[in-house]
Amino acid sequence: MPRMVLNSEEESLLRDIRDNGSVSLTPETRSFEDAERLLAKGLVRAVRTRGVPASTYLLSGAGVAAAAWPPPGNA
């Protein structure tokens, strides 16, 4: 299977989500667009609450693999 191409902002956000467990963002946040692209690529899942502008992003199964979690050698 070919490796998915991510830009540096998407890679950084993916690592942040991996390291923190989740990330909550609002549409005004610069990283929000990166998170939405990761969502479209199937690397993260989004949890949204009706009436609340923030979305919480968590890694999907594919996102765990893309973020190399656990890091090699720490399995």
Question: pTM higher than 0.85 for the full model?
Answer: no
17-53 confidence digits (pLDDT tens)? 999 999 999 999 989 999 999 999 999 999 998 988 8
User: Other C-beta atoms within 10 Å of 14: how many?
Assistant: 26
Confidence of residue 65 (pLDDT cuts 50, 70, 90): confident
C-alpha–C-alpha distance, residues 28 and 3, integer Å: 30
